[in-house]
Structure 1
Amino acid sequence: MSNLWSKMNRREDPNIYEDKDAHLSRVLTVKDFLALGVGTIVSTSIFTLPGVVAAQHAGPAVSLSFLAAAIVAGMVSFAYAEMSSAMPFAGSAYSWINVVFGEFWGWISGWALLAEYFIAVAFVGSGLSANFRGLVGPLGLRFPNALSNTLGSNGGILDITAVVVIALVAFLLSYGVSNAARVENVLVVLKVLAVLAFIVVGLTAIHPQNYVPFIPAYHANADGSAFGGWQGIYAGVSEIFLAYIGFDSIAANAAEAKNPEKTMPRGIIGSLIIAVVLFVAVALVLVGMFHYSKYANNAEPVGWALRESGHGTIASIVQAVAVIGMFTALIGMMMAGSRLLYSFGRDGMLSKWLGKLNKHNLPNNALIVLTVVGIIIGAVCPFAFLAQLISAGTLIAFMFVSLGIYSVRPREGKDIPMPGFRMPFYPVLPAIAFLGALTVFWGLDIQAKMYAGIWFGIGLVIYFGYGIRHSYLNKKNVEKSLTDLDRAEAAEEGEDNYSK
């Protein structure tokens, strides 16, 4: 039993990861990471979640849910900034926790993030599809239900739009991150302009009575979830939190950053600040335009609100740019997810095939797997169901990273390089960040927690059935043991010869 425990807690040498990731090209700058972060954070969520969460949980106080979620995400982002600055490896939290806590804990945090990326790809594809159909609907172009909805939902078989866009982004990424980054930078600017256009036009259609009462009275929804009061705001935080997970996608690409000691903190913290301002502004404008109840089960509330307030042309422009801009979120999520899968293969935790790079030093094998799984999940899981599942996996990884600061800080400047950014208010803030992430996780509904438990059960089976025996750390220890045994036998043989 002690031998098993020691295997689970064996730590990777950070220099090994640096060598393994050396083949990845360091081409991404602060501008690229800001675009990647804003493009991933300010994505499907900003055009969908403010209305959905207002109708289901918080009413006009949905902006407080966004603000509270941003505070927790902001504290965790400081931990991410320090970790990625000190250890700019592919795989983000998975690789860091491998170094600071050990192989098993790294696997758990990485497995949690993998759920995020698998589901986020499907979620963004689904949101893009809903906005695209809302855009072309007024033109008389309507998809049959079988090709518009997920399996078993309103006569659906396959959301064909989501499938096509996920495949297109995978095709773009297969040609390298430099090309993807250039596309990302342009699309992010367009998307931010679309968000600002909605805010400016929406301000002219606000009805102050829609803000009263700002925090509706509490009651339980039919499904048992909370609406109104601080309970409703809290429920909104847990559902909204997925909106802020994009900074993890920045960290996952740290091995491809120029001057990562400065690039990573600026990209992570800068993109989060921009996103918070935009999210809160959109939420306030949206609930001011129409009573929050009007947004129930509406996957494209921004476009709907503009059309219903008489701004059909602006709605079409904003929604067109939004649909195009949602490609940026897919680019960010699929870049990060494929790098995480590559890291699993690189370390022998999953098939070595995933850890292979092509002749252009790109992890396209991992990209293929991420694309196929994302398409399958998107085909069978409805949009609302995906939202909380993304948050569950991410929050667990966030808790690990927050606590990881206590382990990495004493090693900085020794076997781990001194980072260009350090989490402020140490040692208090890492603990508060951990508790904040735990509190948000606790607010997820029981179904999300149950499916997260099933996902981690599968992860444990894979680890103990495959990863613990095939990991490179295990092979390295076996080789070291054999070498030590050979030396001992040689020494023993030498002593025998001497005695003779």
Structure 2
Amino acid sequence: MHNFLRREDPAVYQDKDSHLARVLGVKDFLALGVGTIVSTSIFTLPGVVAAQHAGPAVALSFLAAAIVAGLVAFAYAEMAAAMPFAGSAYSWINVVFGEGFGWIAGWALLAEYFIAVAFVASGLSANFRGLVQPLGFNLPKALSNPLGTDGGVIDITAVVIILLVAFLLMRGVSTAARVQNILVVLKVLAVLVFIVVGATALHAENYVPFIPAHHVGADGNQFGGWQGIYAGVSMIFLSYIGFDSIAANSAEAKNPQKTMPRGILGSLAIAVVLFVAVALVLVGMFHYSDYANNAEPVGWALRKSGHGLVASVVQGVAVIGMFTALIGMMLAGSRLVYSFGRDGMLPKWLGQLNQKNLPNHALALITIVAVIIGSLFPFAFLSQLISAGTLIAFMFVSLGIYKLRSREGKDIPEPSFKMPWYPVLPFIAFLGALAVFWGLDIDAKIYALGWFIVGLLVYLFYGMHHSYLNKKEPK
């Protein structure tokens, strides 16, 4: 048991990560966060959740999810300012709770990155193919869909997209950040265009009743009332998890004491405003029931209201903008895998840097796994595992503030940002994340348990014996 509770010395991480170049500023982290959070989901989820669960009150689901994410983001901001290490929650929990708990938090996040990269690449592929179809460019089904889905063998577009992003990241963080910043500005402009144009086609009657009466649908879904809003929160929450991608890159931040809190909290604030505005405009344009089983509600609503050209422009930019989410997820995922290799929890070559001080071995692993998942396997049933894994890490980080406070100003530097209303707020953040986790469907919880068991076996049979902490006296 003492192996499980062994804590890493923060000075060791400081030294190990010192080779990573500190080149990212506040605007880079804002772009990284907004690029990852304001992703595929802003163009799809508001309509889906309105039709399935909340009706016009979908905006309240987005707001409630944002409040929980915001509470956790406060904890993230303090942790990242105090301990700007690669690997985010994995490294922090390793320092404050011990190696075994750190591994569980990191393993949970790894599920998020593997699946989210594949998820976004597949969504980007579908949207891209939809865009070029009117031009007469059609790929055969064998090269359009994952193995076993509608005659598919491999989603070749998803493969090419993931490889393109990997190539960009292998050239360095500065290059990726420049591309990211430009694409994020374009994507935010596309969202704003939809909000402004859509606002000219609102119908007041579509907002009444704002919270429909509660009932259980034929498919077993909770609809209407506070129950429907709550069901929507758990479905929506994966929209907001992108701020973890900022924290995972904190070892490459200039002046992390100021950069990290501003990047994490600022990107979440921008995203919340955009999500709530899109949700309110969408349900005002057409009755929420019109969005049932609609994979592209934003484009559909614009075309249906006579704005076909705007719809094409917005969808075109949305496809380009999805690259930003891939850049953020692959960047963060590779830094997490690097930190596993750095600590000996996975083979040490994953923790090696190349001559440009980039963890490209770790990036190669993320790329290969994402290509396999995204191009060969139908994974829609795994989408909630993205939320499940991240929520487990969020709970650890929220409670970790209690352990962190007692060490700030001692072996851990006093951070410039601290979570407000301590000791109450960290516990409320923990309860919020637990409540969202509880609202996930039973399949997601079962898959999360399966992934957790696999991770525990990897730790017991490999990580625990190869960990670099084994070479030192336990604390």
TM-score range, shorter chain: over 0.9
Task: Find the residue that maps to 1:119 and give its secondary structure.
Answer: helix
Q: Give the AA of the match of 2:453.
A: G
Deviates more, 1:130-139 or 1:367-376: 130-139
Count of aligned positions: 475
Letter in 1 for 2:115: I
Deviation of the 1:235 alpha carbon: 1.1
Distance 1:253 1:295, change over 3 A: same
2:121 and 2:162 in contact (8 A); partners too: yes
Q: 2:334 aligns with which of 319, 335, 338?
A: 338
Structure 2: distance between partners of 1:294 and 1:151: 31
What secondary structure sits across from 2:14 in the alignment? Answer: helix
Partner-residue secondary structure (3-state), 1:324: helix
Shift, 1:222, TM fit: 4.2
1:316 counterpart = 2:312: yes
Q: 1:94 to 1:166 in 2, by over 3 A?
A: same
Q: Does the 8 Å CA contact 1:130/1:299 hold for their aligned counterparts?
A: no
Structure 1 stretch displaced more, 143-152 or 448-457: 143-152
Asked if 1:80 is matched to 2:76, the reply is yes
DSSP-derived class of the 1:310 partner: coil
Name the counterpart of 1:166. Answer: 162
Contact 2:65 2:237 in 1 (8 A): yes
Q: Deviation digits for residues 252-289 of structure 1, max 9, x if unmatched?
A: 00000000000000000000000000000011111222
1:351 aligns with 2:343: no
Counterpart of 1:411 in 2: which secondary structure?
A: coil
Alignment partners' CA distance in 1, 2:401 and 2:265 = 17
How far is the alpha carbon of 1:305 from its aligned partner? 1.6
Give 1 or 2 for the bigger CA radius of gyration: 1
3-state SS of 2:472 partner: helix
CA apart distance, 1:383: 6.4
Deviation at 1:380, TM superposition (A): 4.7
Alignment TM-score, normalising by the size of structure 1: 0.92
C-alpha deviations, 1:17-57, integer Å up to 9, x for none? 00000110000000100010011111111111111222222
Please say if residues 155 and 376 of structure 2, whose CA atoms lie closer than 8 Å, have aligned partners that are also in contact.
no
**1:216 deviation in Å?**
2.3
Aligned-pair CA distance for 1:386: 3.9
Aligned-pair distance for 1:212? 2.4
Q: Does 1:444 find its partner at 2:440?
A: yes
Structure 2 residue 300 is the aligned partner of structure 1 residue 304? yes
Consecutive unaligned residues of structure 2, counting only runs of 5 or more, are none
Q: Which residue of 1 aligns with 2:171?
A: 175
Residues 128 and 162, structure 1, Cα contact 8 Å, conserved in 2: yes
Counterpart of 2:5, as a letter, is N
CA distance in 1, matches of 2:227, 2:149: 30
Alignment partners' CA distance in 1, 2:420 and 2:412 = 19
Aligned counterpart, 1:489: none
Give the drift of 1:384.
4.3
Name the counterpart of 1:414.
410
Q: 1:386 to 1:295 in 2, by over 3 A?
A: farther
Matches within 5 A, 1:80-479: 80-382=76-378, 384-477=380-473
Coordinate RMSD, CA, aligned: 1.5
Secondary structure of the residue aligned to 1:477 is coil
Give how far 1:475 is off: 2.2
What CA distance in whole angstroms lies between the structure 1 residues aligned with 2:287 and 2:329? 33
Displacement of 1:150: 2.8
Aligned partners of 1:205 and 1:383: how far apart in 2? 36
Distance 1:383 1:206 in 2: 36
Q: Distance in 1 between matches of 2:155 and 2:192?
A: 29
Greater CA deviation, 265-274 or 302-311? Answer: 302-311
- Letter of the structure 1 residue corresponding to residue 457 of structure 2: V
Equivalence for 1:39 = 35
Contact 1:250 1:336 in 2 (8 A): yes
Supply the AA of the counterpart residue of 1:196: L
Q: 1: distance between equivalents of 2:51 and 2:159?
A: 28
Distance in structure 2 (CA, Å) of the matches to 1:161 and 1:208: 41
Give the TM-score normalised by the residue count of structure 2: 0.97
1:381 shift after superposition: 4.8
Closer, same or farther in 2 for the Cα pair 1:378/1:267, shift >3 Å?
same
Distance of 2:55 and 2:424 partners within structure 1: 34
Provide the residue aligned with 1:51 in structure 2: 47
Percentage of identical aligned residues: 79
Give the counterpart letter for 1:70 in structure 2.
Answer: A
Partner of 1:61: 57
The answer on whether the counterparts of 1:127 and 1:299 sit within 8 Å (CA) in structure 2 is no
Return the alpha-carbon distance in structure 2 between the equivalents of residues 145 and 180 of structure 1.
Answer: 32
Q: Which amino acid aligns with 1:430?
A: P
Match of 1:19 in 2: 15
The change in CA–CA distance for 1:381 and 1:213 in structure 2 (over 3 A counts) is: farther
| Counterpart Cα distance in 1 of 2:378 and 2:240 | 21
Instruction: Deviation per CA, 1:299-356: give whole Å up to 9, x if none.
Output: 2221122122211111111111111111111000000000000000000001111111
Q: What is the CA–CA distance in structure 2 between the aligned matches of 1:206 and 1:240, rounded to whole Å?
A: 23
